[in-house]
Amino acid sequence: MKPRLEWRVARVVHSRRETESARTIGLTVPGWRGHLAGQHIDLKLTAEDGYSAQRSYSLSRPADGERIELTVQQIDDGEVSPYLIGLAEGDEIELRGPIGGWFVWSPAEQARVLLVAGGSGIVPLMAMLRARVVAGVSYFRLVYSVRSPADVYYAQELGRLERECDWLRVALVYTRSAPPQTARTPGRLRSADLVATRWTPRDGVRIYVCGPTGFVESVTTKLIEQGHQHSAIRTERFGPSN
What tens digit of pLDDT does each residue of 23-32 get? 999 999 999 9
pLDDT per residue as tens digits for the range 136-164: 889 999 999 999 999 999 999 999 999 99
Instruction: Tell me the domain boundaries of the chain.
Output: 7-99, 107-238
Per DSSP, the residues of 164-187 read H-TTEEEEEEESS---TT-SSPS-
Q: What pLDDT, on the 0 to 100 scale, is given for residue 2?
A: 63
Domain spanning 107-238 has what CATH number? Answer: 3.40.50.80
What CA–CA distances, in Å, run from 207 to 7, 123, 132, 201, 213?
Answer: 32, 15, 15, 10, 16
Superfamily name with CATH number, domain 7-99: Translation factors (2.40.30.10)
This prediction has a pTM of: 0.95
Q: Which residue has the higher pLDDT, 240 or 229?
A: 229
DSSP 80: S
pLDDT single digits (tens) 45-86: 988 888 899 999 999 999 999 999 999 999 888 889 999 999
